[in-house]
């Protein structure tokens, strides 16, 4: 082989080696880019998963909220015996109040259940639920508890459901105007109320008397016990006075 051929062969070897080095470098760069691309895809997938989870959370909460409202309304239907248009009207009222007040529709439905358990018909519930919401909002008491207290107070004094607004106003004034909560007030009312009614007292005067006792440190059942004894004596006096009136005169009294 001539010297010229050897030089060319060596040149070719150098060229091939140089080309191979560039190829290896290119492959390394390509692999690095592929790894970076793969990592980017992983990050994007993770971000999309987090985003989809965040987007799904409100939807899941909405589904649970709807299910809770639906279950509570069905309970209201069971305790009131309402069907058809009467039940649909109750449902619309709860939904409307849930949109237009500080209470949720499910909370309103729970108050409807409390009223239904006190024997309120669906029409009576619709007429009185607004006043119950006002009572709860004004006193800071739980809505279902407010419904129970208002309904029991109304029943104790033999008042009709259309008087619920007046009952709520009296309870609010007595609770907020004295050193007691709405719960304290009713703890006293449920003990003293029946005897007060028998003695001829009304809700307003009884609530006022409970407020006076609260301001001197007698609250709840303690106040109720004290008032019950007093009203029992009043009732006995009235019974004695009534027996002293001749029968003919008693018949002429209104």
Same domain membership, residue 137 and residue 85: yes
| Residue 45 in domain | no
| Average per-residue pLDDT for the chain | 80
Torsion of Cα atoms, 58 then 59 then 60 then 64, to 10°: 100
DSSP state of 163: G
Instruction: Provide the domain count of the chain.
Output: 2
Q: Are residues 149 and 191 in the same domain?
A: no
Mean pLDDT over 79-102 rounds to: 95
Write down the pLDDT at residue 252.
41
| Residue 214 included in any domain | yes
What are the structure tokens assigned to 34, written together? 């592929």
Condensed to tens digits (0 to 9), the pLDDT of residues 65-80 reads: 556 899 999 999 999 9
Same domain for 147 and 213?
Answer: no
Q: Domain for residue 43, yes or no? A: no
Do 140 and 92 have their domain in common?
Answer: yes
Using the 3D structure, point to which of 106, 124, 157 is the last residue of a domain: 157
**Predicted pLDDT at 68:** 86
Decide which of 125, 157, 189 is a domain's last residue: 157
**Range with lowest mean pLDDT among 40-44, 75-79, 85-89, 135-139:** 40-44
Which residues have a Cβ under 8 Å from the Cβ of 179 and sit 6 or more positions away?
214, 215, 219
Whether 119 is in a domain gets the answer yes
Domain boundary residue, one of 157, 188, 221: 157
Share of the chain above pLDDT 70, in %: 66
Per-residue pLDDT at 18 exceeds 60: no
Q: How confident is the model at residue 214 (pLDDT cuts 50, 70, 90)?
A: very high
> Does 79 fall in a domain?
yes
Lowest pLDDT segment from 28-32, 147-151, 164-168: 28-32
pLDDT band at 233 (very low <50, low <70, confident <90, very high): confident
pLDDT value, residue 232: 86
> Are 227 and 146 in a shared domain?
no
107-130 confidence digits (pLDDT tens): 999 999 999 999 999 999 999 999
Give the domain extent around 140: 68-157
Whether residues 184 and 153 share a domain: the answer is no
pLDDT band at 175 (very low <50, low <70, confident <90, very high): very high
194 plus 149 within the same structural domain: no
Q: From CA 105, how far away is CA 63, in angstroms rounded?
A: 14
Are 140 and 200 in the same domain? no
CA distance 196 to 149: 17
Residue 144 shares a structural domain with residue 221: no
Distance CA 55, CA 27 (A): 41
**Domain-located, residue 218:** yes
Instruction: Look at residues 218, 159, 230, 148 and name the one whose alpha carbon lies nearest to residue 190.
Output: 148
Residue 3 pLDDT > 90, yes or no?
no
**Per-residue pLDDT at 215 exceeds 60:** yes
Whether 109 is covered by a domain: the verdict is yes
145 lies in the same domain as 193: no
166: pLDDT strictly greater than 70: yes
Band (63; pLDDT cuts 50, 70, 90): very low
pTM beyond 0.95: the answer is no
DSSP result, 133-197: HHHHHHHT--HHHHHHHHHHHHHHTT--GGGHHHHHHHHHHHHHTTTS-HHHHHHHHHHHHHHHH
Quote the pLDDT of residue 28: 64
Do residue 112 and residue 191 come from a single domain?
no
Question: What pLDDT is recorded for position 48?
Answer: 47
Whether 190 and 152 map to the same domain: the answer is no
Q: Which of 252 and 78 is assigned the larger pLDDT?
A: 78
Weakest-pLDDT range from 48-62, 100-114, 149-163: 48-62
- Establish if 6 belongs to a structural domain: no
């Amino acid at each position: 082989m001539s010297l010229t051929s050897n030089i060319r062969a060596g040149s070719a070897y150098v060229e091939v080696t140089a080309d191979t080095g560039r190829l290896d470098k290119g492959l390394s760069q390509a692999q690095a880019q592929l790894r970076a691309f793969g990592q980017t895809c992983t990050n994007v997938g993770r971000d999309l998963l987090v985003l989809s989870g965040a987007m799904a959370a409100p939807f899941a909460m909405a589904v649970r909220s709807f299910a809770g409202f639906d279950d509570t309304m069905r309970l209201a239907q069971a305790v009131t015996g309402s069907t058809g248009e009467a039940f649909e009207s109750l449902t619309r009222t709860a939904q409307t109040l849930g949109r237009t007040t500080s209470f949720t529709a499910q909370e309103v439905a729970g108050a409807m259940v409390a009223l239904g358990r006190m024997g309120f018909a669906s029409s009576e519930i619709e007429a009185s639920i607004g006043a119950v919401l006002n009572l709860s909002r004004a006193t800071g008491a739980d809505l279902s508890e407010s419904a129970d207290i208002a309904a029991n107070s109304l029943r104790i004094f033999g008042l009709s459901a259309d008087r619920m607004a007046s009952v709520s106003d009296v309870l609010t004034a007595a609770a907020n105007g004295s050193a007691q909560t709405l719960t304290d007030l009713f703890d006293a009312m449920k003990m003293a109320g029946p005897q007060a009614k028998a003695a001829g007292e009304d809700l307003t005067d009884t609530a006022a008397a409970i407020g006076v006792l609260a301001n001197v440190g007698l609250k709840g059942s303690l106040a109720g016990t004290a008032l019950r004894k007093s009203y029992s004596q009043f009732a006995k006096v009235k019974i004695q006075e009534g027996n002293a009136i001749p029968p003919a005169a008693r018949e002429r009294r209104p």
